[in-house]
Each structure stands twice: as C-alpha cells, then as structure tokens.
C-alpha cells in the first residue's frame, strides 16, 4: 500500500518503475487487475482531466468508482469536517483520490485515513499524478528524461504542476529555466529545494531569450482563482502567449510543448497541429499512468526493485 502525496516521497528508481508499469498497462491492458476494488473520487475543486482520467483508469482495471465532483451536494455543506469525510469514504472504498483547495490537505488525509490517499492536487502545493504523466510523456517522446533543458513558463507561483515536476526532474540532472514576471515567479521554497541538490536553474523574464536552447517548454495557465488581489491577475493574465509564428522555426526541431491544461490564451490553437504540440497526448497518457498508481497504491505491485516484475 502506498500514498501518492508529493514527488519528494519517491526516489528516481521508484519513479522509473511507475513509468515502466504504466507503459506495460498501456501495451497490455489488464481489465480485471483491480476487479474487487472500489475507488473514492473526492473532488473539492473543479477538474476535467484529473477526475475523468482517474475514473477512466479505474474502469480500465476493473475497479468501481464512487464520489463527488463538487462538495456542494455533500455533508460538508452541513459542517462536516474533512477529517470525518475522509474517515467515512475510507470505510466505503479501498483507495481515495482527492483534490482539495488547501495546501497540505492530502498529507493531512493520510493521517486520518485507513486506506491509501492519492493527491489529485492540493491548493498551490503539488500534483503528483500530473507529474508522473508529464514524465511519462517526456520519456516517450524524447527517449529519456535525463540531461534535458526545461523551461517552465507562466504562473510558477500558484502552478502546483510546476512545483511537483521540478522536484521530480531534480533527480534527472535536468537544467531549469523559470520564465515568469516577479509577481508569479517560482516560490523560494522550490528554489531552496533545488539549491540543496545543486540543481542549475535561471530565472528568466522573456522566453524568447532561451527558446533556441530548450528541449521542453512547459506552459502553464495564469491561475486566476488563486490570486488574492485580482488587480495583480489583470497585470499578468496575458503575459506569455505563444503561437505558431513565435515558436516554429525559432526552437529546436525536436522541442516539445507540454501544458497540464486547461489552457486559456497562453497557447494559440494554431500550434495544435505542429509537431511541437504534445499537450493532448500528454493528457491522454494520464489514463495508463493513473492505472499504475492505483495498482501500486493498492499493493498489486511493489516499488522495490527486486519485487517489481513488469515486462
């Protein structure tokens, strides 16, 4: 049994074994792998990809799903605590997938739950399942994860996908460019994490300065819902908008553009049919990756090198 809360809870070897299991499940579907299991899907915040791909992944390995896509129709409206909600849903299921607006809510859930917790995003903190599908996509497309130059562009302050992915990539000897205005630059605690591991990074204002050098451009949405002051959001909401004209012919031939989605105006749809645009394939990879996460969370596979036998 294993929780998925933060990427710092996993070693490089464990991450690679999760990706290997996901690849195996993509190539050799196992429709009854978790046929006796029930998943609780608790979404306290809106979601399209994470909730639906976790649900799809459960169905593809034979598990059943219960839960909610908004707290409005639950007893939280009557004042029930998160603690009691987790205790009750754990009694009705074998694993809990949870998205919550408060940083640290997923870690808290592990302290009161009798079943494994999978963090589907907690506030501006982390989004580990997104990171695993990001890594899966990078490995599938680039043939490796090591020694790449990655530019994170956009809302690096509130973008939990950036926080999780930069922690994970710090294990793969990658070099980072954090491209954002000061208002939404990468938080100090992430830079401290990277400094402690001697990871090379540069803070950048204009992506055009580093575009020819990078292997992966990780675009993000400016997260309006997390700004306390909407005047600040107005100042930065359209700060980086890329299109075919600004990218094609100006980057490496093999550079890929990733985005956790949803997008708003930061990637023009005219980029969608270029070879650089990987974001829809990336989102689709969420299904086998989340199948693998269930299998590990529920103890069908163990991440110990000797015990994991995946072809």
Q: Name every residue whose Cβ is closer than 8 Å to that of residue 269 and which is 6 or more positions away in sequence.
A: none
Our CA angle for 202, 16, 187, nearest 5°, is 30
Confirm or reject binding of residue 130 to ligand CP (CB under 6 A).
yes
Confirm or reject binding of residue 49 to ligand CP (CB under 6 A).
yes
Q: What is the Cα–Cα distance from 197 to 174, expressed in whole angstroms?
A: 12
Q: Name every residue whose Cβ is closer than 8 Å to that of residue 278 and which is 6 or more positions away in sequence.
A: 137, 141, 256, 257, 258
Q: Determine whether 259 is an active site residue.
A: no
Q: Which is nearer to ligand CP, 3 or 69 (CB)?
A: 69
Q: Which is nearer to ligand CP, 95 or 211 (CB)?
A: 95
Confirm or reject binding of residue 261 to ligand CP (CB under 6 A).
yes
Residue of 83, 163, 166, 120 lying closest to 294 (CA atoms): 120
Confirm or reject binding of residue 50 to ligand CP (CB under 6 A).
yes
From 51, 99, 160, 290, the catalytic residue: 99
Confirm or reject binding of residue 13 to ligand CP (CB under 6 A).
no
Residue of 7, 15, 40, 14 lying closest to 116 (CA atoms): 40
Among 92, 262, 269, 280, binds ligand CP (CB under 6 A): 262
Confirm or reject binding of residue 48 to ligand CP (CB under 6 A).
yes
Q: How far is the CB of 50 from ligand CP (least distance, A)?
A: 3
* Residue labelled with tokens 């090379």: 200
Confirm or reject binding of residue 224 to ligand CP (CB under 6 A).
no
Q: Determine whether 163 is an active site residue.
A: no
Q: What is the binding site for ligand CP (CB under 6 A)?
A: 47-50, 121, 130, 260-262
């Amino acid at each position: 049994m294993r929780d998925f809360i933060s990427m710092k809870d996993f070693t490089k070897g464990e991450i690679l074994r999760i990706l290997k299991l996901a690849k195996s499940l993509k190539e050799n579907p196992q429709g009854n792998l978790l046929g006796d299991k029930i998943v609780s899907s608790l979404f306290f915040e809106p979601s399209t990809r994470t909730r639906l791909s976790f649900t799809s992944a459960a169905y593809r390995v034979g598990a059943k799903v219960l839960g909610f896509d908004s707290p409005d129709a639950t007893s939280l409206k009557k004042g029930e605590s998160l603690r009691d909600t987790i205790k009750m849903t754990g009694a009705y299921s074998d694993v809990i997938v949870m998205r919550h607006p408060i940083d640290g809510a997923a870690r808290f859930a592990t302290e009161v739950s009798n079943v494994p917790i999978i963090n589907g995003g907690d506030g501006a903190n982390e989004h580990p399942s997104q990171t695993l599908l990001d890594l899966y996509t990078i490995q599938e497309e680039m043939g490796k994860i090591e020694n790449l130059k990655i530019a994170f562009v956009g809302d690096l302050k509130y973008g939990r996908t950036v926080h999780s992915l930069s922690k994970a990539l710090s294990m793969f000897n990658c070099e980072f460019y954090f491209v954002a205005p000061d208002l939404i630059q990468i938080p100090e605690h992430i830079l401290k994490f990277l400094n402690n591991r001697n990871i090379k990074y540069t803070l950048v204002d204009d992506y055009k300065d580093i575009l020819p050098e990078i292997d992966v451009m990780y675009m993000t949405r400016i997260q309006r819902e997390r700004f306390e002051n909407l005047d600040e959001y107005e100042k930065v909401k359209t700060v980086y908008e890329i299109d075919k004209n600004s990218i094609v012919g100006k980057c490496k031939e093999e550079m890929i553009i990733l985005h956790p989605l949803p997008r708003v105006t930061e990637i023009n749809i005219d980029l969608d049919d270029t070879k650089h645009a990987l974001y829809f394939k990336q989102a689709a990879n969420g299904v086998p990756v989340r199948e693998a996460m269930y299998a590990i969370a529920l103890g069908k596979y163990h991440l110990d090198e000797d015990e994991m036998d995946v072809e």
